[in-house]
């Protein structure tokens, strides 16, 4: 690879909500790539707590001091979105061995179907057990998830859970 090559990466996910683990992957990605697009997708198999536009706004506020990060919403196949953005790579965060098996299969499929490479970034050890799904579940039952989320996201999560589960 040429030392002057510009590399744009896409970090796709539902980010419902964005966690400190996600932010860790974003920061680690900025050490490698020239530009990072955080692509907020809707997963029809998940019952989202926050709308797509709400998730985009939350993330945009958190990364506002990083001009090399864009936050966008997308629908459809991730590889099609990546191609539409002229990105060269998909970024995926890894937390544990379970992630490795699933993500490896997904990466091989993306490469076979669309010729898109995937770069895996390990999250910090302290976030190795964290997932948005787990955070929503623990928060719904009153558990303290404040240390796993940015403060502004924790406030929004707490308010939303009170609305949905008074």
Is residue 159 included in any domain, yes or no? Answer: no
| Residue 22 is among the residues annotated as catalytic for this protein | yes
Residue 136 lies in a domain: no
The answer to whether the CB of 38 falls within 8 A of the CB of 69 is yes
What contacts 53, CB < 8 A, 6 or more positions away? 73
In a domain, residue 31? The reply is yes
Residues 6+ apart with CB under 8 A from 27: none
Using CB atoms within 10 Å of the CB of residue 125, give its burial: 0 to 12 exposed, 13 to 18 middle, 19+ buried: exposed
Q: Report in angstroms the alpha-carbon separations of 157 from 49, 117, 142.
A: 8, 34, 11
Of residues 14, 29, 55, 95, which has the active-site annotation? 95
Is the confidence at residue 44, as pLDDT, over 90?
no
Q: Which of 46, 126, 164, 165 is catalytic?
A: 46
pLDDT of res. 3:
66
Q: What contacts 90, CB < 8 A, 6 or more positions away?
A: 9, 10, 11, 12, 78, 79, 82, 107, 110, 116, 117, 118, 119
Region 83-104 average pLDDT? 88
- Give percent of the chain above pLDDT 70: 98
pLDDT band at 125 (very low <50, low <70, confident <90, very high): confident
Q: Which of 22, 55, 136, 156 is catalytic?
A: 22
Look at residue 50 and tell me if it is in a domain.
yes
Q: Residue 36 maps to which CATH number?
A: 3.40.50.620
The reply to whether 163 falls in a domain is no
Catalytic-residue membership of 46: yes
The whole domain housing 58 covers: 8-129
> Which residue is catalytic, options 29, 55, 132, 136?
132
- Number of domains present in the structure of the chain: 1
Claim: this prediction has a pTM higher than 0.75: yes
Tell me if 47 is assigned to some domain. Answer: yes
Verify whether residue 95 is a known catalytic residue: yes
Alpha-carbon gap, residue 51 to 87, rounded angstroms: 25
Nearest Cα to Cα of residue 39 among 31, 25, 106: 25
The confidence score (pLDDT) of residue 2 equals: 56
In a domain, 153, yes or no: no
In a domain, 134, yes or no: no
């Amino acid at each position: 690879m040429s030392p002057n090559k510009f590399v744009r990466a896409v970090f796709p996910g539902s980010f419902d909500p964005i966690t400190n683990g996600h932010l860790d992957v974003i920061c680690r990605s900025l050490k490698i790539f020239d530009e990072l697009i955080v692509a907020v997708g809707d997963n029809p198999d998940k019952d989202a707590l926050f709308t797509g536009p709400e998730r985009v706004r939350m993330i945009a506020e958190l990364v506002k001091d990083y001009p090399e990060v864009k936050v966008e919403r997308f629908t459809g196949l991730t590889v099609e979105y990546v191609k539409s953005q002229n990105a060269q790579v998909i970024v995926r965060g890894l937390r544990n061995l379970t992630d490795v098996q699933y993500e490896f299969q997904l990466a091989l499929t993306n490469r076979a179907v669309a010729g898109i490479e995937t770069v895996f970034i390990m999250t910090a050890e302290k976030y190795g057990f964290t997932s948005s799904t787990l955070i929503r579940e623990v928060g719904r039952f009153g558990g303290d998830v404040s240390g796993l989320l940015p403060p502004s996201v924790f406030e929004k999560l707490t308010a939303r859970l009170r609305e949905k589960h008074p």
